[in-house]
Structure 1
Amino acid sequence: MKAIRKNYDILGKPVGPYVHAVKHNNQLYLSGLSAFGSIAQTQTIEFQAKEIFKQIEKIAKAENSSLENIIKVTIFVTDLKRIDELRTTLFEIYKENLPASSLVQVEKLFHPDLKIEIEAILAV
């Protein structure tokens, strides 16, 4: 089966050589999402994470899926000082549907205001 490359009108147009997501079989692979351009851009890591998951939820709904179907996330953060607060936020979002997860600290993201970027794989 051929992979389907997708952009979503509900998100800003990608500014680089990538698409928002690639759908293959029953899986949707999301590019890294951030709070860039939203009201959360200059806020805390928790607020930015919530904004990113709102984006993921919109994409999931567009694919007739939901946050419950997140299989895997890779989370990139610029600072681990607020990791406990971030974990609390993630538990609130995931509820009982915990995904496989990786957490990576990076020196910086593409804009200095950004504290977190999230990639995800969803069942659709």
Structure 2
Amino acid sequence: MDRYPVSSGTEWESTVGYSRAVRVGSQVHVSGTTATGEDGDVVAPGDPYAQTKYALEVVADALEEAGSSLEDVVRTRLYVTDIDGWEAIGKAHGEVFGDVRPAASMVEVQRLIDPDHRVEIEAVAIVDGPG
């Protein structure tokens, strides 16, 4: 089965040994994605809603490069540093996914890679047709 990795081009991918996303057959798995801009700075520090929206834009870009889209997402996992922000995070997730409504989990974690990150998102998509 063909394996198609998607790279964001950051130095961390080769150092840590991961890909932004990987497509194998009809499945696309997107790695944990945070609100980190192309300059390496955290986008919207302290704002879980804005960080969720930004991270999902990055997820959408990775899916597109793998021949998929947000409409193909069947599962998301949201790791958050303060579960009290669940409504803002959930609102942003709902605005992006609308009628797609993937299976989703939101889990509070002690911390993420940068103390200014409030959310990290993983996604799985199933695509019709060949890879």
Deviation for aligned residue 1:19: 1.3
1:33-72 pair list within 5 angstroms = 33-36=33-36, 37-38=40-41, 40-72=43-75
Question: What code does the residue aligned with 1:25 have?
Answer: G
- Residue equivalent to 1:16: 16
The structure where helix makes up a greater share of residues is 2
TM-score (norm 2): 0.83
- Residue equivalent to 1:28: 28
TM-score (norm 1): 0.87
Deviation for aligned residue 1:115: 0.6
Q: Distance in 2 between matches of 1:5 and 1:65?
A: 13
Give 5+ residue unaligned stretches, structure 1.
Answer: none
1:82-101 pair list within 5 angstroms = 82-101=85-104
CA deviation vs aligned residue, 1:13-49 (integer Å, no higher than 9, x gap) = 4252211122111011111010123562514011000
Q: Distance in 2 between matches of 1:58 and 1:85?
A: 22
RMSD value, Cα: 1.8
Give 5+ residue unaligned stretches, structure 2.
Answer: none
Q: Distance in 1 between matches of 2:62 and 2:2?
A: 20
CA deviation vs aligned residue, 1:77-103 (integer Å, no higher than 9, x gap) = 000112112211111111110001111
CA deviation vs aligned residue, 1:35-88 (integer Å, no higher than 9, x gap) = 123562514011000011111111222233221111111110000112112211
Q: What is the count of residue pairs matched by the alignment?
A: 122
Q: Which moved more, 1:28-37 or 1:107-116?
A: 28-37
